Structure 1
Amino acid sequence: MLPSTLRQSLGKTASALALFIGSLMAITAPAQAAVPDVTAAISVDVFSTDPTKFFAANDYLLMANVYESLYGHDEKGNLIPTLAAAVVIKDDGLTYEFTLRAGVKFHNGNPFTAEDVRFSWQKAVDPVRKWPRAGVLAANIADVEIVSPLKVRIKLKKRDAGMMENLDTNLYMLSKKHVESVGDAAFGDNPMGTGPFKFKERKIKEYIALEGYAGYWGKPPEVGKLMLRIVTDESTRLAQLQSGEVDIVDNVSPFLAVRMKGVQGLKVIQAPTLRNMYIMMNATGKNERMKNEEVRRALMTMVETEKLTKSVYLGFAAPAKLNCGPGGTGCTGTPAPRIDAQQARAALTKAGFDFSKPLNFVGMAAGSIPQTRELVEALAQRFSEAGVQTKITLLEYAAWVQAEQTKSPDVDLIFCMFPDYSKEPSGRLQRGMRSGSMFSWYEDPVLDDMIDKMNDFSDVAAREKHISGIYQRINDKAAVIPLWATDTIFVSRNNIQWLPTANATWPVFKNIIKKSK
């Protein structure tokens, strides 16, 4: 053994050498650039952070950034494997075998396995939760069998031709171990998924704080903190953007988007979506006059959709001939011929319409959807040309969602919109047009039967023809007043590089990059 004095001397020498080498490396090695933070000003807060409780479109702001499903969509809207690596669909169309992606971890480090797939389905169909979106996909699953830690077999009750497209937004994956450990309430307060961003903190109606997940199975976001500030007033959002307080803002109105295109240091990001807007006419319950098909048809056919698209949305929308997003599956057919105001008044008179009573027209206040007030006012003006009076009520987003579900018999007309992540229409038709469903203001047993049968097809062309027939019946029966599919409009600072996900109206930020100025 070395003498203690020599050991001490060598120890000091080694320590000094280590310090010298460390300092040399610090000098010669290139410094690692800090990952930048991004702040976005968002027009409306989420209602729910639990993927088996949410129901409104605004909730996708959190869902699409924190959670994932077995299959999803890329930035161009193409169906791609996400938490699954592959799927084999049996010839009967009732059995789907998914091979899960290896190495995926939840935000707390728990591995993603077949147990989590089964657990997520069980939560989605739990009768205590009464999740309204379960009927789109999860309720049709008879069982989720665990074949191995990385393989599941999903068995359906009946064929579902829209299943693969609908997985993305209707069956997000939860960590069985985590949810059972903390309980539902605690999980709702601190959501956790496998997505590109981790949840950090939320203050209701003020902000949602996320953080780029370095352990993401795909390409991790090039973002540190992602702060989503809730700023309901559009002019305030844009003022914060111009001052440099935020990097990007959502839901910019077409009128201001045109002006922002000329502002130095800013850029307008515009993308077409499948969010179609329409007016529901209350043909349910005790509302007898709107149950009159001829009254509805007169109101529907006098609306000059293309003219309104140009005057209200300034070209930031595509006119809809039927009640579907242009380019969506089965979105074809023949719209009813337009009539002028004089013809509309004659048709209404023949149908026994009482012109002395105004139509109660519910719209959405500014915030979640740009220029909804201008839209409702323009429609009211058009109806007045045929002698139809209206009484307009504008509701904030949360109150509007509640009104859309309540279906008060005192409401005659209500502004509606339906966003979609893909061209697959089964979710919107089931929830938006089937009798008694959450967002439907129309009752038609024939249409219900057509909707119930739309997924029981193996032939793609035959199914598309059937769906086209559904849209045609909606039009022929004057169930709604179709308007248009809007573009989604963001404005960012020039150092932001970001491509919105095709078709979606909510921002998915995993590909956002903030460059140095």
Structure 2
Amino acid sequence: MKTRKERNMKNFKRIIAVALVGILSLSAGCAATQKEAAPENSVPPVTESASPSAAQSTPASDVTVRVALGSEPDNLDPMLSAATDTAAVMMNVYEGLMGFDQKGDFIPAIAQSYTAAPDGLSYTFTLKKGVKFHDGKDCTAKDVKYTYEKLAGLTGEKPLNSTLSQELVKVETPDDYTVVLTLKQRDAGFMSKTILSIEEEGYADNSTKPIGTGPYKFVEYIQGQKIVLEKNENYSTIAERKPTIGKVEFVIMTDENAKLMALKSGNLDIAGVSAPNAAALGDDFSIVQGPQNMVQVLALNNAVKPLDNLKVRQAINYAVNKDEIIGAVVDGKGTKVESFLSPSMATYYNDNIAAYKTDIEKAKSLLKEAGYEKGFDLTITVPSNYQTHIDTAQVIKDQLAQVGINVNIQLIEWAQWLDGVYTKRDYQSTIIGHSGKLDPQDFLNRFTSTYDKNYFNFTNPDYDKLVTEAAATTDISQRAALYKQCQQFLVDQAASVFIQDPHIIFAVSKKLDGLQIYPVTFFNMSDIHVKS
């Protein structure tokens, strides 16, 4: 392998200043869901401009905004959901102890303040008084305790969040508005867990009739059609997020041509579109585009033959031409990546990786050494609702054919992908996207042997040790150095093929304004307002 890497983006001041709002998708499932989120590519474009606050916006109580949603929700209950698209919608309904702004900084949500113990092993949160669930009940410390204990499995039941179950040992409530979370060991990225949705103690119908404290209330979900939310007239948790849009319909729509027609006919107000379709819309819509804080990956199941052979995985890496994929699939609107982090996370991204340069003869040589001189059959399983991944699979099929690998592209529904690939790990290879996170740990721990959704089936004790050490390191420069080692480790072991951070294009009705940038997939409808 030869050292090569061009810096694809400017080194932004903040780790996460480049992920965008969104739900419309190119790929499939991962954000701040309660359960470990599945990969999904659905974040909007980069912009530094801020829109007028909701208080200054034109009132729009009688307006319905329709947004294209790239996949069917897997579960409306955040504790049971694993899909980014679902989380991006439901974060309008639920809130965490803390929220986050466009720069990725944490802001008070249900909690008005917090303090961390000097040893970093406990966090004390003081809750806001007067925060109410949509059924009128007060949100108090008992609800926070209920949520975190259930997620971490502290009640004796199976944990619903494997990362939290390894960190959290105790939840205490000294009074109705104070919560103390105690950790097993210091975790420099623990604050990213404070955005997990707080659920009402004892309420059992969140999968069908979700109730949160957020600015929008759930109205209905019609399978295969839409999720409908309405403005919470009594919302008061975060003053800047008081909503103005009266109703929002997230329309489940994956076909590009169908979205284009719906936009033109006025049946959609916001949708993710391809570059040609954006051009076809002309001046009738505002176009917002840019890179995403996500990684598109050709995931390789390290536990199945012949992908359990390092030389085979390396050969595949040498055979894949990422520049060709970016040019052919996204019309050049993508940033090449060499690791399982996006360059968007500038502080932690390793921009000096000894990576794979496309070399067909080297790939053939490695296959011969591995005993596969004549190649082999490889199935790439792709969720059928993400055209970008389908197109990428087709390009990779042609590339791998040059070294004798015969690719079969298997298209399956999103729900099947979540169950068969992501949960049961019953696949050879797949193409998917992992979208924005608040902390690099939430990307890189996916390859650890203890991560229950390590669908890559990558196992290496030295890698586990590196990730654990990085998580406990509070010094930013030292932590960054360790995470950069983690990235090189995954490349050396050819754990998978890391392709690109594809840019995304949104078409927005000119009657609307306010689309905002966030470091994780979040379509914050409180930002949207009707133009004056």
- Shorter-chain TM-score category? 0.7 to 0.9
TM score, norm. by length of structure 2 = 0.82
Q: Say whether residues 1:257 and 2:278 are aligned partners.
A: yes
In the alignment, the residues of structure 1 paired with residue 525 and residue 344 of structure 2 have an alpha-carbon distance, to the nearest angstrom, of 25
3-state SS of 1:360 partner: strand
The answer for the alignment partner of 2:440 in structure 1 is 425
Aligned pairs (5 A) from 1:38-117: 38-117=65-144
For the 8 Å contact 2:60–2:529, the answer to whether it is kept is: no
Deviation at residue 55 of structure 1 after TM alignment: 1.5
The answer for the alignment partner of 1:476 in structure 2 is 492
Deviation at residue 301 of structure 1 after TM alignment: 2.6
Give the direction of change, closer, same or farther, for the CA distance of 1:32–1:93 in structure 2 (3 Å limit).
closer
Deviation at residue 128 of structure 1 after TM alignment: 7.5
The answer for the alignment partner of 1:121 in structure 2 is 148
Deviation at residue 430 of structure 1 after TM alignment: 2.7
The answer for the alignment partner of 1:20 in structure 2 is none
Deviation at residue 451 of structure 1 after TM alignment: 2.5
Deviation at residue 244 of structure 1 after TM alignment: 0.9
User: Deviations 1:449-471 (Å, cap 9, x if unpaired)?
Assistant: 32233321232222221111111
User: Deviations 1:401-460 (Å, cap 9, x if unpaired)?
Assistant: 223225566x432113212242x1222333355466314322222222322333212322
Q: Percent identity?
A: 26
Give the direction of change, closer, same or farther, for the CA distance of 1:464–1:113 in structure 2 (3 Å limit).
same
Deviation at residue 48 of structure 1 after TM alignment: 0.6
The answer for the alignment partner of 2:219 in structure 1 is 200
**AA of the residue aligned to 2:88:** L
Give the direction of change, closer, same or farther, for the CA distance of 1:116–1:295 in structure 2 (3 Å limit).
same
Q: Say whether residues 1:358 and 2:377 are aligned partners.
A: yes
3-state SS of 1:489 partner: strand
The answer for the alignment partner of 1:241 in structure 2 is 263
In the alignment, the residues of structure 1 paired with residue 100 and residue 433 of structure 2 have an alpha-carbon distance, to the nearest angstrom, of 22
In the alignment, the residues of structure 1 paired with residue 192 and residue 121 of structure 2 have an alpha-carbon distance, to the nearest angstrom, of 16
Paired residue for 1:493, among 509, 521, 531?
509
For the 8 Å contact 2:377–2:406, the answer to whether it is kept is: yes
User: Deviations 1:255-304 (Å, cap 9, x if unpaired)?
Assistant: 433443xx2311222243222111112211xx232111111112113322
Deviation at residue 32 of structure 1 after TM alignment: 8.2
Paired residue for 1:289, among 306, 317, 326?
306
In the alignment, the residues of structure 1 paired with residue 310 and residue 450 of structure 2 have an alpha-carbon distance, to the nearest angstrom, of 16
3-state SS of 1:371 partner: helix
Larger gyration radius, structure 1 or structure 2? 1
Deviation at residue 381 of structure 1 after TM alignment: 0.9
TM score, norm. by length of structure 1 = 0.84
**Structure with greater helix percent:** 1
Aligned Cα root-mean-square deviation (Å): 2.4
Paired residue for 1:323, among 320, 340, 356?
340
Paired residue for 1:342, among 361, 383, 392?
361
For the 8 Å contact 1:322–1:335, the answer to whether it is kept is: no
In the alignment, the residues of structure 2 paired with residue 297 and residue 108 of structure 1 have an alpha-carbon distance, to the nearest angstrom, of 55
Paired residue for 2:482, among 460, 466, 475?
466
Give the direction of change, closer, same or farther, for the CA distance of 1:460–1:33 in structure 2 (3 Å limit).
closer
3-state SS of 1:290 partner: coil
For the 8 Å contact 1:362–1:392, the answer to whether it is kept is: yes
In the alignment, the residues of structure 2 paired with residue 140 and residue 220 of structure 1 have an alpha-carbon distance, to the nearest angstrom, of 34
Q: Say whether residues 1:213 and 2:228 are aligned partners.
A: no
Give the direction of change, closer, same or farther, for the CA distance of 1:143–1:137 in structure 2 (3 Å limit).
same
In the alignment, the residues of structure 2 paired with residue 86 and residue 213 of structure 1 have an alpha-carbon distance, to the nearest angstrom, of 24
Give the direction of change, closer, same or farther, for the CA distance of 1:288–1:358 in structure 2 (3 Å limit).
closer
Paired residue for 1:230, among 239, 252, 255?
252
Name structure 1 gaps, 5 residues minimum. 1-30
**AA of the residue aligned to 1:438:** K
For the 8 Å contact 1:254–1:370, the answer to whether it is kept is: no
For the 8 Å contact 1:255–1:314, the answer to whether it is kept is: no
Give the direction of change, closer, same or farther, for the CA distance of 1:202–1:129 in structure 2 (3 Å limit).
farther
User: Deviations 1:320-350 (Å, cap 9, x if unpaired)?
Assistant: 1212111325221413241421222122212
Q: Say whether residues 1:415 and 2:442 are aligned partners.
A: no
**AA of the residue aligned to 1:404:** V
3-state SS of 1:155 partner: strand
Name structure 2 gaps, 5 residues minimum. 1-57
In the alignment, the residues of structure 1 paired with residue 332 and residue 435 of structure 2 have an alpha-carbon distance, to the nearest angstrom, of 19
3-state SS of 1:154 partner: strand
Q: Say whether residues 1:437 and 2:452 are aligned partners.
A: yes
